[in-house]
Amino acid sequence: MKTRILLTILSLLPFLGYAQNDALFTHFMYHTNLYNPATAGNNDGITVGLLARQQWVGFDDAPSSQLLNAYGYIPKVKGGVGLTVVNDIIGKQRTTTVRLGYAYRQRLGDRMYLSAGINVGIANNYVRGSELRYQQTGDETSFDTGISQTKPDIGLGVEFVGKGLTLGVSFSHLQQSLGNSTLWKTPRHYYAYAKYDWQVAEKWQLSPAVFFRSAGFISQVDVNLNATWNKRVVVGASYRTTDAVSGLLGVYIVKNVLASYSYDFNFGALRTNNSGSHELTIIAKFKGFQEKVSVLKSPRYF
């Protein structure tokens, strides 16, 4: 199959590890449950996040992504549960993924926990065939109607949290090797990240983070530093290898509700064909379910 738009996208694969693969988000530090189901086990409250990203503004059929991310710890199931819904559009192709996850948490010591999680779901790929323009007529693989395929999706991960430090390793699309991946089958991805919250002054907190991702044939690293003032304002900057530098500004609208915007300035292969990428996220944290603690009022009663 030969189409102008798909050839354009596929030609970018040597430069962009996320093309035709998992969605890319600059606010990765706030949405690790998307990449690692174990995050749900280390979250004492309930977190709900929405995110929208418009990539490569000014580029025809530029990628855009939307995310719903919700997770929290539930004592009755002795672990965390999570839900992620991702809608990712590249050119004439749309990929919608829905995953449910569970994570078991083990306490290691004072304020230190290790969580292991799994998520399962489905990934639907849809191509608007009626909008494709072919360079060659009579191609046997061509189609002029919409085509949709749905495949199962599985992910695994572990995460450690302790005294401000967070470390995570995970795998998405576990069932799909790189060698068998196609336009309809996203290859296995590998993720690793580290975050640290450092209270440097009474009103200032610094939060450096590193995020690594790989699809097997290419890898990328994000390096980020966020500074939070008085638990009200967040200012940050990121560097993404071979692609972009980013600026981030967030405000806590009310306590535990953060609205944050980021702008990516591309310096990669498409730097002259777009005016950057925009991203907006809103994250709300709620009080979680509390474990029941039995109180022994008198040694007479058991």
Q: What is the pLDDT of residue 273?
A: 72
Q: What is the pLDDT of residue 18?
A: 36
- Residue pLDDT, tens place only, 176-220: 777 666 666 778 999 999 999 999 999 999 999 999 999 888 899
Angle at CA of residue 169, ends 168 and 170, nearest 5° = 125
Q: Is the pLDDT of residue 150 over 50?
A: yes
- Residue pLDDT, tens place only, 224-241: 999 999 999 999 999 999
Q: Is 21 domain-assigned?
A: yes
Reading the block at residue 133, the tokens are: 């323009």
- Tell me the mean pLDDT in the region 74-98: 91
3 Cβ contact partners less than 8 Å away, ≥ 6 residues apart: 92, 132, 133, 134, 135
Q: Is 33 domain-assigned?
A: yes
Place of tokens 């995570």: 168
**In the chain, % of residues over pLDDT 70:** 79
Reading the block at residue 199, the tokens are: 């209270």
Determine if residue 18 is left, alpha or beta; phi over 0 gives left, psi from -120 to 50 gives alpha, anything else beta: alpha
Q: Is 302 domain-assigned?
A: no
- Residue pLDDT, tens place only, 18-53: 335 788 899 999 999 999 999 999 988 899 999 999
Please give the DSSP secondary-structure letter assigned to residue 146. -
Q: Is 296 domain-assigned?
A: no
Residue 232 CA to residue 253 CA, distance in Å, equals 8
Task: Indicate the number of domains in the chain.
Answer: 1
Q: Is 80 domain-assigned?
A: yes
Q: Is the pLDDT of residue 259 over 60?
A: yes
Q: What is the pLDDT of residue 250?
A: 98
Write the CATH number for 37. 2.40.160.40
Q: Is 242 domain-assigned?
A: yes
82: helix, strand or coil: strand
Give bridge partners of residue 165 from the DSSP assignment: 162, 196
Residue 129 CA to residue 2 CA, distance in Å, equals 12
**In the chain, % of residues over pLDDT 90:** 59
Q: Is the pLDDT of residue 278 over 70?
A: yes
Q: Is the pLDDT of residue 14 over 60?
A: no
- Tell me the mean pLDDT in the region 84-95: 90
Bridge-based pairing state of the strands 257-266 and 219-229: unpaired
**Candidate from 2-16, 105-119, 123-137 with smallest mean pLDDT:** 2-16
- Tell me the mean pLDDT in the region 95-102: 96
Q: Is 295 domain-assigned?
A: no
Q: What is the pLDDT of residue 133?
A: 57
Q: How does the average pLDDT of the chain come out, rounded? A: 84
Q: What is the pLDDT of residue 69?
A: 96
Domain that holds residue 89: 4-286
pTM given for the model: 0.83
Cβ–Cβ under 8 Å, residues 133 and 173: no
Q: Is 294 domain-assigned?
A: no
Bridge-based pairing state of the strands 93-109 and 277-286: unpaired
Longest dimension (CA), the chain: 89
